[in-house]
Amino acid sequence: MRFLISLVAVPLLLAGPAQADSGRLQWPLRPRPAVVGAYNAPAPDWNRGHRGVDLAGALGQPVYAAAPATVIFAGVLAGRPVVSLAHPGGLHTSYEPVVAAVRVGQLVDAGTAIGTLAAGHRGCSAACLHWGAMWGPAARADYVNPLGLLASTPIRLKPLHP
């Protein structure tokens, strides 16, 4: 029987040396947070949707880089504090609302504190982190569910033919 592996996971799996969970993401909040807002990609992709997940947190809680990366944005965007990271292999992750503790161009490791969680994310009764992920350049980005890229998410092979 032939199998197909999700193409979303392939660049992460090929990005580094072969080892358990190589290139997979870590949770950006600790301890492992509750997911309070699900990923809901719009179709077609220019329609409204939720291009990330919301994670329950506490005001002032540290937010961590999910994997090694370069900081590509750390500031205020549309009135909200945002940090964006570019990871090897073309993955970008975004963290909002986060007051940055890093600067553009800075290299960070997985688990590096990149800032602190701020209040004000729409739809959250308490502080929560909107965590997004996308492949490719911003102009042609393909949004993906960051939960599917976590090291704790098992990779399942799907048969090509039933």
DSSP character string of 49-96? -B-SEEEE--TT-EEE-SSSEEEEEEEEETTEEEEEEE-TTSEEEEEE
Structure token digits, residue 41: 């990609």
Closest listed residue to residue 85, CA positions, set 59, 111, 47: 111
Please say if the pLDDT value at position 14 is more than 80: no
pLDDT digits (tens, 9 = 90+) for 93-124: 999 999 999 999 999 999 999 999 998 777 67
Assign residue 133 a region: left if phi > 0, alpha if psi is -120 to 50, beta otherwise?
beta
Residue 9 clears pLDDT 80, i.e. is over it: no
Average per-residue pLDDT for the chain? 81
User: At 151, is the secondary structure helix, strand, or coil?
Assistant: coil
In the chain, the domains with their CATH numbers are: 26-149 (2.70.70.10)
Residue in this structure with the two tokens 């042609």, named with its chain if needed: 140
Tokens 């799996």, residue located = 13
Q: Which of residues 20 and 145 earns the better pLDDT score? A: 145
Whether the Cβ atoms of residue 107 and residue 86 lie closer than 8 Å to each other = no
Distances (CA, A) of 126 to 59, 80, 143, 148, 149: 8, 16, 26, 25, 26
Q: Is the pLDDT of residue 5 over 70?
A: no
Q: Any idea which of 8-12, 31-35, 152-156 has the lowest mean pLDDT?
A: 8-12
The answer, as to whether pTM is greater than 0.85, is: no
CA distance 107 to 70: 5
Residue 21: pLDDT band (50, 70, 90) is very low
